[in-house]
Protein backbone atom coordinates (compact mmCIF):
# COMPACT_ATOMS: atom_id res chain seq x y z
CA UNK A 1 0.00 0.00 0.00
CA UNK A 2 1.11 3.56 -0.69
CA UNK A 3 2.64 5.28 2.34
CA UNK A 4 0.06 7.30 4.31
CA UNK A 5 0.17 11.07 4.59
CA UNK A 6 1.19 11.60 8.21
CA UNK A 7 -0.35 14.54 10.02
CA UNK A 8 0.63 16.45 13.16
CA UNK A 9 -2.34 18.35 14.60
CA UNK A 10 -2.10 21.45 16.81
CA UNK A 11 -5.33 22.30 18.61
CA UNK A 12 -7.97 19.85 19.83
CA UNK A 13 -10.92 22.13 20.31
CA UNK A 14 -14.21 21.76 18.47
CA UNK A 15 -12.63 21.79 15.02
CA UNK A 16 -9.51 19.79 15.88
CA UNK A 17 -11.56 17.00 17.44
CA UNK A 18 -13.86 17.22 14.42
CA UNK A 19 -10.91 16.60 12.08
CA UNK A 20 -9.97 13.44 13.99
CA UNK A 21 -13.56 12.20 13.95
CA UNK A 22 -13.91 12.87 10.23
CA UNK A 23 -10.68 11.09 9.37
CA UNK A 24 -11.85 8.12 11.45
CA UNK A 25 -15.41 8.02 10.10
CA UNK A 26 -14.53 8.36 6.41
CA UNK A 27 -11.08 6.76 6.44
CA UNK A 28 -11.69 4.27 3.63
CA UNK A 29 -13.40 6.81 1.34
CA UNK A 30 -10.71 9.43 2.00
CA UNK A 31 -7.93 6.92 1.23
CA UNK A 32 -9.54 6.06 -2.11
CA UNK A 33 -10.01 9.70 -3.06
CA UNK A 34 -6.58 10.78 -1.86
CA UNK A 35 -4.78 7.78 -3.35
CA UNK A 36 -3.39 6.90 0.07
CA UNK A 37 -4.46 6.92 3.74
CA UNK A 38 -4.33 10.11 5.78
CA UNK A 39 -3.31 9.51 9.39
CA UNK A 40 -2.89 11.71 12.44
CA UNK A 41 0.32 10.63 14.18
CA UNK A 42 0.94 13.42 16.69
CA UNK A 43 -1.13 16.08 18.49
CA UNK A 44 -0.67 19.05 20.78
CA UNK A 45 -3.09 21.08 22.89
CA UNK A 46 -3.14 23.10 26.09
CA UNK A 47 -4.86 20.52 28.32
CA UNK A 48 -3.79 16.90 27.99
CA UNK A 49 -6.33 15.64 30.53
CA UNK A 50 -9.46 17.10 28.92
CA UNK A 51 -12.00 14.59 27.61
CA UNK A 52 -12.64 15.43 23.97
CA UNK A 53 -14.69 12.37 23.14
CA UNK A 54 -11.97 10.87 20.96
CA UNK A 55 -9.20 8.33 21.61
CA UNK A 56 -5.93 10.29 21.90
CA UNK A 57 -3.88 7.38 23.21
CA UNK A 58 -2.96 6.29 19.67
CA UNK A 59 -1.21 9.61 18.94
CA UNK A 60 2.11 10.94 20.08
CA UNK A 61 1.45 13.84 22.46
CA UNK A 62 3.64 16.93 22.49
CA UNK A 63 3.14 19.59 25.13
CA UNK A 64 5.12 22.04 23.00
CA UNK A 65 3.51 22.36 19.59
CA UNK A 66 6.77 23.70 18.20
CA UNK A 67 8.00 20.11 18.31
CA UNK A 68 5.42 18.92 15.79
CA UNK A 69 7.12 19.90 12.51
CA UNK A 70 10.40 18.39 13.72
CA UNK A 71 9.02 14.91 14.36
CA UNK A 72 10.41 12.27 11.98
CA UNK A 73 7.99 11.19 9.30
CA UNK A 74 5.52 14.06 9.65
CA UNK A 75 4.41 15.24 6.21
CA UNK A 76 1.97 18.01 7.12
CA UNK A 77 1.08 20.16 10.11
CA UNK A 78 -2.51 21.28 10.77
CA UNK A 79 -2.96 24.42 12.89
CA UNK A 80 -6.34 24.91 14.59
CA UNK A 81 -5.48 27.09 17.60
CA UNK A 82 -6.27 30.54 16.17
CA UNK A 83 -4.85 34.01 16.68
CA UNK A 84 -3.12 36.26 14.17
CA UNK A 85 0.23 36.07 15.95
CA UNK A 86 1.74 34.18 18.87
CA UNK A 87 1.95 30.37 18.88
CA UNK A 88 0.00 29.93 15.64
CA UNK A 89 2.34 32.13 13.64
CA UNK A 90 5.39 30.58 15.29
CA UNK A 91 4.14 27.12 14.32
CA UNK A 92 3.40 28.20 10.75
CA UNK A 93 6.87 29.63 10.28
CA UNK A 94 8.54 26.59 11.84
CA UNK A 95 6.50 24.12 9.77
CA UNK A 96 7.11 25.79 6.42
CA UNK A 97 10.75 26.44 7.29
CA UNK A 98 11.16 22.70 7.95
CA UNK A 99 9.63 21.88 4.57
CA UNK A 100 6.35 20.57 5.96
CA UNK A 101 3.02 21.15 4.26
CA UNK A 102 0.86 23.47 6.36
CA UNK A 103 -2.93 23.60 6.67
CA UNK A 104 -4.80 26.17 8.74
CA UNK A 105 -8.30 27.48 9.42
CA UNK A 106 -6.84 30.71 10.82
CA UNK A 107 -8.25 33.62 8.82
CA UNK A 108 -6.67 36.27 11.07
CA UNK A 109 -3.17 34.85 10.60
CA UNK A 110 -3.62 34.52 6.83
CA UNK A 111 -5.07 38.04 6.53
CA UNK A 112 -2.14 39.56 8.43
CA UNK A 113 0.76 37.27 7.47
CA UNK A 114 -0.43 35.32 4.43
CA UNK A 115 2.12 36.77 2.00
CA UNK A 116 5.05 36.04 4.28
CA UNK A 117 3.85 32.46 4.76
CA UNK A 118 3.17 32.01 1.04
CA UNK A 119 6.72 33.12 0.25
CA UNK A 120 8.07 30.64 2.81
CA UNK A 121 6.00 27.86 1.23
CA UNK A 122 7.25 28.78 -2.24
CA UNK A 123 10.86 28.77 -1.03
CA UNK A 124 10.47 25.18 0.18
CA UNK A 125 8.10 24.05 -2.62
CA UNK A 126 5.51 22.88 -0.09
CA UNK A 127 1.77 23.52 0.17
CA UNK A 128 0.17 26.28 2.23
CA UNK A 129 -3.59 25.60 2.36
CA UNK A 130 -6.38 27.53 4.11
CA UNK A 131 -9.74 26.54 2.63
CA UNK A 132 -11.31 26.50 6.10
CA UNK A 133 -10.26 30.10 6.80
CA UNK A 134 -13.18 31.55 4.79
CA UNK A 135 -16.79 30.37 4.97
CA UNK A 136 -16.13 27.12 6.82
CA UNK A 137 -17.11 24.15 4.70
CA UNK A 138 -17.99 26.22 1.63
CA UNK A 139 -15.30 25.62 -1.04
CA UNK A 140 -14.99 29.26 -2.03
CA UNK A 141 -11.17 29.42 -1.83
CA UNK A 142 -10.88 26.49 -4.23
CA UNK A 143 -13.66 27.92 -6.36
CA UNK A 144 -11.90 31.25 -6.86
CA UNK A 145 -8.35 29.89 -6.92
CA UNK A 146 -9.05 27.07 -9.37
CA UNK A 147 -12.58 27.00 -10.77
CA UNK A 148 -12.65 30.67 -11.76
CA UNK A 149 -8.94 30.92 -12.56
CA UNK A 150 -9.52 31.68 -16.26
CA UNK A 151 -11.81 34.64 -15.54
CA UNK A 152 -11.33 38.30 -14.89
CA UNK A 153 -13.52 38.96 -11.84
CA UNK A 154 -15.41 42.24 -11.61
CA UNK A 155 -16.25 41.98 -7.93
CA UNK A 156 -16.60 39.58 -5.03
CA UNK A 157 -18.98 40.05 -2.14
CA UNK A 158 -20.85 38.03 0.40
CA UNK A 159 -22.25 37.25 3.81
CA UNK A 160 -19.07 36.28 5.63
CA UNK A 161 -19.99 36.17 9.33
CA UNK A 162 -22.55 33.71 10.64
CA UNK A 163 -23.01 35.43 14.00
CA UNK A 164 -24.03 38.72 12.39
CA UNK A 165 -26.27 36.97 9.91
CA UNK A 166 -28.01 35.04 12.68
CA UNK A 167 -28.63 38.29 14.59
CA UNK A 168 -29.91 40.21 11.56
CA UNK A 169 -32.19 37.45 10.29
CA UNK A 170 -33.60 36.87 13.78
CA UNK A 171 -34.29 40.62 14.08
CA UNK A 172 -35.93 40.39 10.67
CA UNK A 173 -38.15 37.42 11.58
CA UNK A 174 -39.15 38.53 15.07
CA UNK A 175 -39.00 42.33 15.02
CA UNK A 176 -36.61 42.44 17.99
CA UNK A 177 -33.78 44.89 18.58
CA UNK A 178 -30.09 44.18 18.31
CA UNK A 179 -29.15 44.02 22.00
CA UNK A 180 -31.92 41.54 22.79
CA UNK A 181 -31.01 39.18 19.96
CA UNK A 182 -27.28 39.43 20.70
CA UNK A 183 -27.89 38.36 24.31
CA UNK A 184 -29.89 35.38 23.07
CA UNK A 185 -27.17 34.46 20.56
CA UNK A 186 -24.59 34.51 23.36
CA UNK A 187 -26.80 32.29 25.54
CA UNK A 188 -27.17 29.81 22.66
CA UNK A 189 -23.45 29.80 21.90
CA UNK A 190 -23.82 31.48 18.50
CA UNK A 191 -21.93 34.56 19.74
CA UNK A 192 -18.84 34.87 21.93
CA UNK A 193 -18.91 36.39 25.39
CA UNK A 194 -16.96 39.26 23.79
CA UNK A 195 -18.57 39.44 20.33
CA UNK A 196 -16.62 42.49 19.12
CA UNK A 197 -14.69 40.72 16.36
CA UNK A 198 -17.95 39.48 14.87
CA UNK A 199 -20.40 42.35 15.35
CA UNK A 200 -17.85 45.07 14.51
CA UNK A 201 -17.00 43.44 11.19
CA UNK A 202 -13.38 42.45 11.94
CA UNK A 203 -13.91 38.72 11.31
CA UNK A 204 -15.60 39.45 8.00
CA UNK A 205 -12.80 41.90 7.10
CA UNK A 206 -10.18 39.16 7.57
CA UNK A 207 -12.10 36.91 5.19
CA UNK A 208 -12.73 39.66 2.65
CA UNK A 209 -9.02 40.56 2.46
CA UNK A 210 -8.23 36.92 1.61
CA UNK A 211 -10.99 36.68 -1.00
CA UNK A 212 -9.95 39.96 -2.63
CA UNK A 213 -6.36 38.79 -3.06
CA UNK A 214 -7.52 35.54 -4.66
CA UNK A 215 -10.15 37.20 -6.84
CA UNK A 216 -8.05 40.05 -8.22
CA UNK A 217 -4.47 38.79 -8.04
CA UNK A 218 -3.49 41.53 -5.60
CA UNK A 219 -1.32 41.58 -2.50
CA UNK A 220 -3.18 41.06 0.76
CA UNK A 221 -4.06 44.35 2.40
CA UNK A 222 -6.18 43.83 5.49
CA UNK A 223 -5.45 47.35 6.75
CA UNK A 224 -7.21 48.77 3.69
CA UNK A 225 -10.54 47.07 4.53
CA UNK A 226 -13.01 49.63 5.89
CA UNK A 227 -15.08 47.75 8.46
CA UNK A 228 -18.38 48.78 10.04
CA UNK A 229 -20.44 46.35 12.05
CA UNK A 230 -24.09 45.97 13.00
CA UNK A 231 -24.22 47.45 16.52
CA UNK A 232 -26.36 50.38 15.42
CA UNK A 233 -28.87 48.57 13.22
CA UNK A 234 -32.40 48.97 14.64
CA UNK A 235 -35.41 46.76 14.21
CA UNK A 236 -36.95 49.85 12.61
CA UNK A 237 -34.21 49.84 9.94
CA UNK A 238 -35.00 46.25 9.07
CA UNK A 239 -38.73 47.01 8.92
CA UNK A 240 -38.16 50.04 6.68
CA UNK A 241 -35.88 48.01 4.42
CA UNK A 242 -38.57 45.34 4.09
CA UNK A 243 -41.18 47.93 3.13
CA UNK A 244 -38.83 49.10 0.36
CA UNK A 245 -38.18 45.57 -0.95
CA UNK A 246 -34.83 44.91 0.75
CA UNK A 247 -33.25 42.85 3.50
CA UNK A 248 -30.40 44.00 5.72
CA UNK A 249 -27.21 41.93 5.57
CA UNK A 250 -23.64 42.56 6.72
CA UNK A 251 -21.69 42.31 3.46
CA UNK A 252 -18.04 42.19 2.61
CA UNK A 253 -17.57 43.79 -0.80
CA UNK A 254 -14.42 44.14 -2.92
CA UNK A 255 -13.83 45.39 -6.44
CA UNK A 256 -11.12 47.07 -8.49
CA UNK A 257 -11.90 50.78 -8.66
CA UNK A 258 -9.78 52.97 -10.94
CA UNK A 259 -6.18 52.18 -10.15
CA UNK A 260 -6.99 51.03 -6.63
CA UNK A 261 -8.82 48.26 -4.82
CA UNK A 262 -12.03 48.93 -2.91
CA UNK A 263 -12.66 46.72 0.16
CA UNK A 264 -15.47 47.31 2.65
CA UNK A 265 -17.47 45.43 5.29
CA UNK A 266 -20.73 47.23 5.94
CA UNK A 267 -24.42 46.57 6.65
CA UNK A 268 -26.23 46.88 3.32
CA UNK A 269 -29.72 46.78 1.91
CA UNK A 270 -29.93 43.76 -0.39
CA UNK A 271 -32.78 43.49 -2.94
CA UNK A 272 -35.10 40.55 -2.22
CA UNK A 273 -34.39 39.37 -5.78
CA UNK A 274 -30.68 38.91 -4.99
CA UNK A 275 -29.50 35.48 -3.77
CA UNK A 276 -27.77 36.99 -0.72
CA UNK A 277 -31.13 38.25 0.57
CA UNK A 278 -32.12 34.63 1.21
CA UNK A 279 -29.02 33.62 3.18
CA UNK A 280 -30.42 33.11 6.67
CA UNK A 281 -29.26 32.17 10.15
CA UNK A 282 -25.58 31.22 10.54
CA UNK A 283 -25.06 30.47 6.82
CA UNK A 284 -22.33 32.11 4.74
CA UNK A 285 -22.47 32.92 1.02
CA UNK A 286 -20.13 34.49 -1.52
CA UNK A 287 -20.94 35.89 -4.97
CA UNK A 288 -18.31 36.47 -7.65
CA UNK A 289 -18.82 37.81 -11.16
CA UNK A 290 -16.54 36.51 -13.93
CA UNK A 291 -16.27 37.92 -17.44
CA UNK A 292 -16.81 34.49 -19.03
CA UNK A 293 -18.41 32.34 -16.33
CA UNK A 294 -20.93 34.98 -15.18
CA UNK A 295 -22.28 34.97 -11.64
CA UNK A 296 -21.00 32.33 -9.23
CA UNK A 297 -22.66 31.63 -5.89
CA UNK A 298 -21.03 29.68 -3.05
CA UNK A 299 -23.25 29.01 -0.05
CA UNK A 300 -23.29 26.78 3.01
CA UNK A 301 -22.46 26.48 6.69
CA UNK A 302 -19.70 28.86 7.60
CA UNK A 303 -18.67 27.50 10.99
CA UNK A 304 -18.90 24.50 13.30
CA UNK A 305 -16.86 21.37 13.73
CA UNK A 306 -18.29 19.45 10.79
CA UNK A 307 -18.06 22.07 8.01
CA UNK A 308 -14.69 23.41 9.10
CA UNK A 309 -13.21 19.93 9.55
CA UNK A 310 -14.52 19.06 6.09
CA UNK A 311 -12.57 21.96 4.57
CA UNK A 312 -9.40 21.06 6.49
CA UNK A 313 -9.52 17.44 5.34
CA UNK A 314 -10.24 18.51 1.76
CA UNK A 315 -6.96 20.43 1.87
CA UNK A 316 -5.19 17.35 3.21
CA UNK A 317 -6.60 15.24 0.36
CA UNK A 318 -5.16 17.72 -2.15
CA UNK A 319 -1.78 17.46 -0.44
CA UNK A 320 -1.93 13.66 -0.43
CA UNK A 321 -2.59 13.77 -4.18
CA UNK A 322 0.30 16.16 -4.74
CA UNK A 323 -2.13 18.80 -6.01
CA UNK A 324 -1.05 22.23 -4.95
CA UNK A 325 0.20 25.47 -6.38
CA UNK A 326 0.84 28.97 -5.11
CA UNK A 327 -1.27 29.76 -2.06
CA UNK A 328 -2.85 32.83 -3.68
CA UNK A 329 -3.28 31.33 -7.16
CA UNK A 330 -0.06 32.90 -8.43
CA UNK A 331 3.43 33.39 -6.97
CA UNK A 332 3.67 36.19 -4.42
CA UNK A 333 6.02 38.10 -6.75
CA UNK A 334 3.27 38.16 -9.40
CA UNK A 335 0.61 39.65 -7.11
CA UNK A 336 -0.17 43.26 -7.98
CA UNK A 337 0.38 46.08 -5.52
CA UNK A 338 -2.80 48.17 -5.60
CA UNK A 339 -3.49 51.10 -3.28
CA UNK A 340 -6.72 51.45 -1.37
CA UNK A 341 -9.35 53.00 -3.64
CA UNK A 342 -11.13 56.18 -2.67
CA UNK A 343 -14.69 55.07 -1.76
CA UNK A 344 -15.94 58.52 -2.63
CA UNK A 345 -15.47 57.63 -6.29
CA UNK A 346 -18.03 54.81 -6.12
CA UNK A 347 -21.52 55.49 -7.34
CA UNK A 348 -24.57 53.95 -5.80
CA UNK A 349 -27.72 54.43 -3.79
CA UNK A 350 -27.88 54.82 -0.02
CA UNK A 351 -30.32 54.38 2.87
CA UNK A 352 -30.11 57.01 5.60
CA UNK A 353 -31.95 56.92 8.92
CA UNK A 354 -32.09 59.95 11.21
CA UNK A 355 -33.41 60.09 14.78
CA UNK A 356 -34.50 63.71 15.18
CA UNK A 357 -36.36 66.18 17.35
CA UNK A 358 -40.10 66.37 16.65
CA UNK A 359 -40.25 70.01 15.61
CA UNK A 360 -40.82 72.21 12.60
CA UNK A 361 -37.92 72.68 10.22
CA UNK A 362 -36.04 69.41 10.77
CA UNK A 363 -37.00 67.91 7.42
CA UNK A 364 -36.04 71.14 5.69
CA UNK A 365 -32.64 71.06 7.39
CA UNK A 366 -31.99 67.50 6.21
CA UNK A 367 -33.22 68.28 2.69
CA UNK A 368 -31.00 71.38 2.52
CA UNK A 369 -27.91 69.36 3.52
CA UNK A 370 -28.70 66.89 0.75
CA UNK A 371 -29.29 69.66 -1.78
CA UNK A 372 -26.06 71.48 -0.91
CA UNK A 373 -24.11 68.21 -1.31
CA UNK A 374 -25.72 67.35 -4.67
CA UNK A 375 -27.55 64.33 -3.26
CA UNK A 376 -30.76 63.54 -5.10
CA UNK A 377 -33.52 62.14 -2.87
CA UNK A 378 -35.56 59.24 -4.23
CA UNK A 379 -37.86 58.92 -1.20
CA UNK A 380 -38.25 60.41 2.27
CA UNK A 381 -40.39 58.92 5.03
CA UNK A 382 -41.14 60.34 8.48
CA UNK A 383 -42.48 58.02 11.16
CA UNK A 384 -44.48 59.02 14.22
CA UNK A 385 -42.94 60.03 17.53
CA UNK A 386 -41.36 57.30 19.67
CA UNK A 387 -41.65 56.88 23.44
CA UNK A 388 -38.84 59.42 24.04
CA UNK A 389 -40.45 61.99 21.76
CA UNK A 390 -38.02 61.58 18.86
CA UNK A 391 -39.02 60.92 15.26
CA UNK A 392 -37.45 58.57 12.71
CA UNK A 393 -36.76 59.99 9.27
CA UNK A 394 -35.73 57.55 6.53
CA UNK A 395 -34.25 58.74 3.26
CA UNK A 396 -33.24 56.80 0.14
CA UNK A 397 -31.02 58.48 -2.41
CA UNK A 398 -30.83 58.23 -6.16
CA UNK A 399 -27.61 56.87 -7.64
CA UNK A 400 -24.73 59.24 -7.09
CA UNK A 401 -21.16 59.50 -5.78
CA UNK A 402 -20.69 58.19 -2.26
CA UNK A 403 -18.63 61.30 -1.56
CA UNK A 404 -21.75 63.44 -1.84
CA UNK A 405 -23.61 61.45 0.83
CA UNK A 406 -20.60 61.70 3.14
CA UNK A 407 -20.52 65.47 2.62
CA UNK A 408 -24.22 65.75 3.46
CA UNK A 409 -23.70 63.88 6.71
CA UNK A 410 -20.75 66.13 7.54
CA UNK A 411 -23.03 69.15 7.07
CA UNK A 412 -25.49 67.70 9.57
CA UNK A 413 -22.84 66.71 12.09
CA UNK A 414 -23.43 68.50 15.38
CA UNK A 415 -26.93 69.63 14.46
CA UNK A 416 -29.12 70.05 17.57
CA UNK A 417 -31.96 68.53 15.57
CA UNK A 418 -30.32 65.09 15.57
CA UNK A 419 -30.78 62.92 18.65
CA UNK A 420 -28.12 60.40 17.57
CA UNK A 421 -25.65 59.67 14.84
CA UNK A 422 -27.35 58.95 11.48
CA UNK A 423 -27.36 55.39 10.18
CA UNK A 424 -25.95 54.93 6.68
CA UNK A 425 -26.37 51.69 4.76
CA UNK A 426 -25.45 51.34 1.11
CA UNK A 427 -27.81 49.60 -1.28
CA UNK A 428 -26.52 46.60 -3.24
CA UNK A 429 -27.31 46.52 -6.94
CA UNK A 430 -29.33 43.50 -8.00
**Using CA atoms, how far apart are residues 104 and 81, in angstroms rounded to an integer?**
9
Q: Are the beta carbons of 210 and 220 closer than 8 angstroms?
A: yes
Instruction: Say how many C-beta atoms besides its own lie within 10 A of residue 155's C-beta.
Output: 17
**Using CA atoms, how far apart are residues 202 and 194, in angstroms rounded to an integer?**
13
Residue 163 has, within 13 A of its CA and on its CB side, a CA count of: 26
Maximal C-alpha separation, the chain = 84
**Per-residue buried b or exposed e for 4-21, using 16+ beta carbons within 10 Å of the residue's own CB:** bbbbbbbbbeebbbbbbb
Residues tagged active-site: 207
**Using CA atoms, how far apart are residues 377 and 363, in angstroms rounded to an integer?**
12
- Strand segments, DSSP code E, in 172-245 are 226-227
Cα separation values, 397 from 9, 244, 374, 375, 412, Å? 52, 13, 11, 7, 16
Residue 251 burial (10 A CB sphere; 0-12, 13-18, 19+): buried
Phi and psi (nearest 5°) for 57? -65, -20
The residue among 189, 130, 182, 138 whose CA lies nearest residue 160 is 138
**Per-residue buried b or exposed e for 315-354, using 16+ beta carbons within 10 Å of the residue's own CB:** bbbbbbeeebebbbbbebeebeebeebebeebebbbbbbb
Amino acid sequence: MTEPLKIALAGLGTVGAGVVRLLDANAELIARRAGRPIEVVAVSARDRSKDRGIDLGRFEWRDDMRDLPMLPGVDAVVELIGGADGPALTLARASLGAGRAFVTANKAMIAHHGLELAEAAEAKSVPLKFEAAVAGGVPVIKGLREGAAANRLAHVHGVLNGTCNYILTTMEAEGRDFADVLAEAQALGFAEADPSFDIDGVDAAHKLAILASLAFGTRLDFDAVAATGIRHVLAADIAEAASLGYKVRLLGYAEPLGTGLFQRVHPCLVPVSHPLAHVSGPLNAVVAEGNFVGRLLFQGRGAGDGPTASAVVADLIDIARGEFGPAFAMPVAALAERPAADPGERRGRAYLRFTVEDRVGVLAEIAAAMRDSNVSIESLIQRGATADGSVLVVLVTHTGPERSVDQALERLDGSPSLRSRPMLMHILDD
